[in-house]
Structure 1
Amino acid sequence: MSEVFKALTLDLDDTLWPVWPTIARAEQQVHQWLQAHAPRTAAHFDVAALRQVRHVVGQAHPEQAHDLAWLRQTSLVWALREAGDDEALAPAAFEVFMAERQRVVLYPDALAALQALSARWPLFALTNGNADLARIGLADYFVGGLSAKVFGQGKPAPAIFHAACELLQLAPHQVLHVGDDWALDIEGACGAGLAAAWVCRPGHPTKPADASARPWFEGADLADLVRALGAG
């Protein structure tokens, strides 16, 4: 069955690395930077309060939900202005976040899986997040990628899956999408006509009781997927 796949699209966050420890470190780095460069903002907003600002900005601008960078920068502008600091500091503060956000710690199975899979198929990154594969050091395993920010829509919209297939010059049924999020990755891919591989690591959310999608693969990590594809 795996022989029908001509390429794989891969989710990044929580598929190749755990994202929330990385985000937490990055947010803490931003707050420390604010303490040095915008002390009134740091005093007025702790890390949790800055998250709440971002949540409020997101609710006010649902049309920007696909652009996490815009939401973070806009939130920083709002917080700086509210505290009486220079809002022009927002881009530098955001770059502090982005630099730390790229310092991911791969799951133990991820690198070997990327090596095995990329030796057999073109790999294409498909993400709603703002990870930078070049800065992370993984770009050589991928032939390309598409983010929600660049495309203007995120998963589970069928359009972003179809755009990835077009860039790969393949039909949807020739592509296997690999991801961890049932709604975004599995329902999204299956709804767009791709096959789906669900990587549900221990401790991650389980399948919804009303799940209707039928993934080609379900397993606990990428090593399981490599074996299922006969790429090990």
Structure 2
Amino acid sequence: MPEITSPQPTASGAVAHTLELDRIQAITIDLDDTLWPVWPTITRAEEVLADWLREHAPATAIAFPDPKSLRRIRMKVEAERPELLHDLSAMRRESIREALLQCGDDPALAEPAFDVFFEARQQVVLFDDALETLEFLAGRYPVVALSNGNADIRRVGIDRFFKAAFNARDFGVGKPDARIFHAAAQSVGQAPQATLHVGDDAALDVQGALNAGMQTAWVNMDARPWTLDVRPHAAVGTLSELCALLR
């Protein structure tokens, strides 16, 4: 892989970049923490789940009364079922089932309980400039959603901007595996070298996409320092800055 230089601030305070704009024929973009903040969404969904358990599985609700306690049992399941790490829906469902079993409630309730959680998990609050950015990108390129999470672009209500969507659960492997990046590019008839990947995670998004042969734009909204040896072709503090780079 060719050496990639680090984006550096210019004298005006703008972010210099090494994007080759004329090469970009398609965009792949992460969802969680790129188009919306994920943890407020997950916390709200866990609160909805806790309310449901209080009504339908009271023993479990008493033993696991809040999101923090539910996350502890999820960590236990993660350690015991590493084969589910690429499938966050299965991991969540099995965590609920384990909690029900521990407390003597009906484990069959895991299915409707997960459905309640999953519906609430799709109720995201987009970043202020996300819709404008998606409109901009979709008006110029084929755009593909590429996520390790279990957000559903149709349920979220943004599927009109995308030509395709890939997630780790359905594809079988997730980022940073090069195969999911390659499949996303191929789904819109483009080579990885002609594709720009946009995402917030340095290792999963940037390093993964670079290893797959793509150009990369790192969305760094909270001014984190860059710690990896490889570097993105561009770094932006907002999605609006990304649009400005691509104009």
Give the match's secondary structure for 2:139. Answer: helix
Does residue 1:4 correspond to 2:13, yes or no? no
Does residue 1:30 correspond to 2:52, yes or no? no
- Residue deviations 1:107-145, cap 9 Å, x none? 011111011110000100000000011111100000011
Provide the C-alpha distance between the structure 2 equivalents of 1:4 and 1:193, rounded to a whole number of angstroms: 12
Provide the C-alpha distance between the structure 1 equivalents of 2:21 and 2:47, rounded to a whole number of angstroms: 43
Give the match's secondary structure for 1:85. Answer: coil
Q: CA deviation at 1:214?
A: 2.6
TM-score calculated relative to the size of structure 1: 0.95
**Per chain length, whose mean CA-contact separation is higher, i.e. which structure has more relative contact order (CA < 8 Å, sep 6+)?**
2
Provide the C-alpha distance between the structure 1 equivalents of 2:85 and 2:229, rounded to a whole number of angstroms: 26
- What is the match of residue 3 of structure 2? none
Which among 93, 102, 125 is matched to residue 145 of structure 2? 125
- What is the match of residue 67 of structure 1? 87
- What is the match of residue 218 of structure 1? 235
Gapped regions of structure 1 (runs ≥ 5): none
Q: CA deviation at 1:92?
A: 0.7
**Does the 8 A contact of 1:180 with 1:199 survive in 2?**
yes
- What is the match of residue 227 of structure 1? 244
- What is the match of residue 44 of structure 1? 63
- What is the match of residue 21 of structure 1? 40
Q: CA deviation at 1:206?
A: 2.9
- Residue deviations 1:65-90, cap 9 Å, x none? 10000100001111111101111111
TM-score calculated relative to the size of structure 2: 0.90
Query: Larger % of helix: which?
Result: 1
- What is the match of residue 111 of structure 1? 131
**Does the 8 A contact of 1:66 with 1:152 survive in 2?**
yes
Q: Following TM superposition, where does structure 1 have runs of at least 4 consecutive aligned residues deviating by more than 4 angstroms?
A: none
Provide the C-alpha distance between the structure 2 equivalents of 1:3 and 1:137, rounded to a whole number of angstroms: 31
Provide the C-alpha distance between the structure 1 equivalents of 2:50 and 2:231, rounded to a whole number of angstroms: 43
**Does the 8 A contact of 1:200 with 1:206 survive in 2?**
no
Farther-moved stretch of structure 1 (55-64 vs 119-128):
55-64
- What is the match of residue 91 of structure 1? 111
CA RMSD of aligned residues (A): 1.0
Q: Which amino acid is the alignment partner of residue 199 of structure 1?
A: V
Provide the C-alpha distance between the structure 2 equivalents of 1:219 and 1:92, rounded to a whole number of angstroms: 40
